[in-house]
Amino acid sequence: MDMPSSETQLISSPSEDDLPLPCLYIDRLSLYYNSQLALQDVTLSIPKGSITALIGPSGCGKTSFLSCLNRLTDLIPNCKICGQVRLEDLDILHPKTDTVALRRRVGTIFQKPNPFPLSIWKNIAFPLREHGVKDRQRIDEIVEQVLVDVGLWDEVKDRLKSPALRLSGGQKQRLCIARTLALQPEILLMDEPCSALDPITTHIVEDLIVSLRGKYTILIVTHNLAQARRIADYVALFWVKDGSGRLIEAGSVKQIFENPQQPITGAYISGSRG
Amino acid sequence: MSRQNIPPSQNNPSGVPRSPATTKSDLIARSQKIAYADILLSLLVWAVAISVTAVFVWISVDIVWHGAGHLSWEFLTKEPEEAGRQGGIASILVSTGLLLSVCLGVAVPLGLGTAILLAEFTVLNNWFGRLVRRSLDMLASVPSIVFGLFGNAFFCVTLGLGFSILSGGLTLACMVLPLLIRSVEEGLRSVPHEYRLGAASLGLSRSTTLVNLLLPAAFPSLAAGLILGIGRAIAETAALMYTSGYVERMPESLLDSGRTLSLHIYSLSMNVSGGDSSAYASVVVLMILLLVTNGAAIWIGEHWLHSRIQN
Amino acid sequence: MTSSAKKTSFPQNVDRLLVWSLRGIAVIVGTIVLFIIGFLILESLPVFRKVGVLPFLRDTSWNPMQGVYSLTPMLISTLLVVAGAVLLAAPIGILSALFCHYYAPKPVANLYRRLLEIMSGIPGVVYGFWGLVVLVPLINRLHPPGTSLLTGILLLALLITPTIALIADASLAGVPQEYLQGAVALSLSRWGTIREIVLPAARSGLFTSIILGTGRAIGETIIVLMVCGNIVQIPSSVFEPIRTLPANIALEMDFALGDHRSALFVSGLLLMGVNLVLVLLAEAIAQEEIYHN
Domain residue spans of chain C: 16-58, 71-292
Contact B196 A75 (CB under 8 A): yes
Q: pLDDT-derived band of residue B13, with 50, 70 and 90 as boundaries?
A: low
Query: b/e for C99-127, b at 16 or more Cβ within 10 A?
Result: bbbbbbeeeebeebbebbebbbbbbbbbb
CA distance A215 to A208: 12
For residue range C231-270, list pLDDT tens digits in order.
Answer: 888 888 888 899 999 999 999 988 888 888 888 999 999 9
On whether any CB of chain C is under 8 Å from the CB of B305, the answer is: no
Q: What is the pLDDT of residue C1?
A: 33
CB pairs under 8 A between A and B: 66
Q: Are A99 and A68 in contact (CB under 8 A)?
A: no
Superfamily of domain B75-310: MetI-like (1.10.3720.10)
Is A84 inside a domain boundary? Answer: yes
CB contact under 8 A, B202 and A100: no
**Chain C positions with Cβ closer than 8 Å to A:** 1-9, 11-12
Question: Which residues in chain B have Cβ-Cβ distances shorter than 8 Å to A103?
Answer: 200-203
Report the alpha-carbon distance of residue A28 to residue B12 in Å, rounded: 81
Q: Is C107 on the interface with B (CB under 8 A)?
A: no
Respond yes or no on whether the N-terminal peptide bond of residue A117 is cis (omega within 30° of 0). no
Q: Which has the closest alpha carbon to B184: B128, B132, B229, B143?
A: B229
Mean pLDDT of chain B: 83
Return d(Cα C97, Cα C17) in angstroms, integer: 49
Q: What is the pLDDT of residues C152-168, one digit of tens each?
A: 999 999 999 999 999 99
How far does the CA of residue B73 sit from the closest CA of chain C (Å)? 22
The whole-number average pLDDT for the span B287-302 is: 84
Contacts of A97 in chain C (CB under 8 A): 2, 4, 6
Say yes or no: C264 contacts chain B, CB-CB below 8 A.
yes
| Percent of chain B predicted with pLDDT > 90 | 28
Does the beta-carbon distance from A96 to C2 stay under 8 Å?
no
Q: Residue B125's pLDDT band (boundaries 50, 70, 90)?
A: low
pLDDT, residue B3, reads 45
Strand (E) positions, chain B?
80-81, 86-87
> What is the mean pLDDT of each successive set of 10 residues along chain C, which is 293 residues long?
45 83 91 92 87 78 80 90 94 92 88 90 92 90 86 94 91 81 75 79 84 88 91 87 91 85 90 86 76 65
Higher pLDDT among residues A107 and B302, named by residue:
A107
Q: Average pLDDT, stretch A194-217?
A: 88
What pLDDT is recorded for position B297? 79
Alpha carbons A10 and B292: distance in angstroms, whole number: 68
Compute the count of residue pairs across chains A and C with CB atoms less than 8 Å apart. Answer: 31
Range of the domain at A31: 22-270
At residue A18, does pLDDT exceed 70? no
Domain spanning C71-292: CATH superfamily:
MetI-like (1.10.3720.10)
Residue A183 contacts B, CB cutoff 8 Å: yes
- B287 to C36: CB separation less than 8 angstroms, yes or no: no
Percent of chain C residues past pLDDT 90, beyond the cut: 33
Q: Which residue has the higher pLDDT, B307 or A171?
A: A171
Asked if A96's CB is within 8 angstroms of C8's CB, the reply is yes
Instruction: Tell me the shortest Cα–Cα distance from C260 to chain B, in angstroms.
Output: 13
In-domain check, residue A185: yes
pLDDT at residue B73, rounded to an integer: 80
Q: Which residues of A touch B304 (CB under 8 A)?
A: none
pLDDT at A10: 46
Interface residue ranges in chain A relative to chain C, Cβ cutoff 8 Å: 89-91, 94, 96-101, 105, 130
Q: Which of B45, B150, B177 sits opposite C103 (nearest CB)?
A: B45
Counting as contact any 3 or more CB pairs under 8 A, the partners of B are A, C
Is residue A249 domain-resident?
yes
Tell me the Cα Rg of chain B.
28
Q: Which residues on C lie below 8 Å from B41 (Cβ)? A: 190-191, 194
Q: How many CB atoms lie within 10 A of CB A83?
A: 17
Residue B19 predicted with pLDDT over 60: no
Q: Do A90 and C12 touch (CB under 8 A)?
A: no
Beta carbons of C11 and A97 less than 8 Å apart: no
For residue C6, count other CB atoms closer than 10 A to its CB. 14
For residue C275, the model assigns a pLDDT of 86
Average pLDDT over residues A24-36: 88
- Of the candidates B135, B142, B238, the beta carbon closest to that of C221 is on B238
A104: closest CA of chain B, how far (Å): 6
Residue from A116, A129, A187 to probe the interface with B (highest B Cβ count within 10 Å) = A116
Closest chain A C-alpha to B196 CA, distance in angstroms:
9
Is pLDDT above 90 for A188? yes
pLDDT of residue A4: 40
Q: Give the H or E element holding residue A80.
A: strand A79-87
* pLDDT at site B108: 93
**Which residues from chain C sit within 8 angstroms of residue B276, using beta carbons?**
133
Q: Which residues of C touch B238 (CB under 8 A)?
A: 124, 221-222, 246, 250
Q: Which of residues 187-206 of B touch C (CB under 8 A)?
A: 204-206
The answer to whether B181 and B107 have CB atoms below 8 angstroms apart is: no
Q: Is A104 on the interface with B (CB under 8 A)?
A: yes
Which residue among A101, A103, A112 places its CB closest to the CB of B202? A103
Chain B residues in contact with C275 (beta carbon < 8 A): 141-143
Nearest-by-Cβ selection for A72 from B200, B213, B311:
B200
The tens digit of pLDDT for each residue in B109-122 reads 999 999 999 888 87
Count other Cβ atoms within 10 Å, centred on residue B31.
11
| pLDDT category of residue A121 using cuts at 50, 70 and 90 | very high
Structural domains of chain A, count: 1
A6 pLDDT higher than 60: no
Residue in chain A nearest B194 by alpha carbon: A114
pLDDT tens for each residue of C130-139: 999 999 999 9
Q: List C-alpha distances in Å: B176 to B170, B183, B256, C127.
A: 10, 11, 22, 22
Selected for mutation to probe chain C from B48, B176, B244 (highest C CB count within 10 Å) is B48
B207/C14 touch (CB, cutoff 8 Å), yes or no: yes
Q: Tally the C-alpha atoms within 13 A of residue A206's C-alpha that lie toward its C-beta.
A: 20
Nearest-by-CA chain C residue for A95: C4
* Bridge partner list, A47: A22
To the nearest whole angstrom, how far is the Cα of C292 from the nearest Cα of chain A? Answer: 28
> Any idea what the CATH number is for the domain that residue A198 is in?
3.40.50.300
The per-residue pLDDT for range B218-270, each reduced to its tens digit, is 888 888 888 888 988 998 998 998 898 888 888 888 888 888 999 999 988 88
**Domains of chain B by residue range:** 24-69, 75-310
Give the gap in angstroms from C-alpha A86 to the nearest C-alpha of chain C.
Answer: 10
- Residue range A68-100, pLDDT digits in tens: 898 888 888 788 888 989 888 888 888 888 888
Contact A91 C11 (CB under 8 A): no
**For strand A22-33 and strand A36-47, is the pairing parallel, antiparallel, or unpaired?**
antiparallel
Higher pLDDT, C122 or B2: C122
Q: Which residues contact A175 (CB under 8 A, 6 or more apart)?
A: A113, A115, A120, A123, A124, A150, A152, A164, A167
* Site from A100, A184, A186, A187 to mutate, C interface, most C CB atoms within 10 angstroms: A100
Residue of C nearest to B291 (CA): C118
Minimal CA separation from A209 to chain B, in Å:
18
pLDDT of the residue at B124: 60
Is the per-residue pLDDT at B149 higher than 80? Answer: yes
Q: Would you say C152 and C227 are in contact if contact means Cβ atoms under 8 Å apart?
A: yes
A169: confidence class by pLDDT, cuts 50, 70, 90: confident
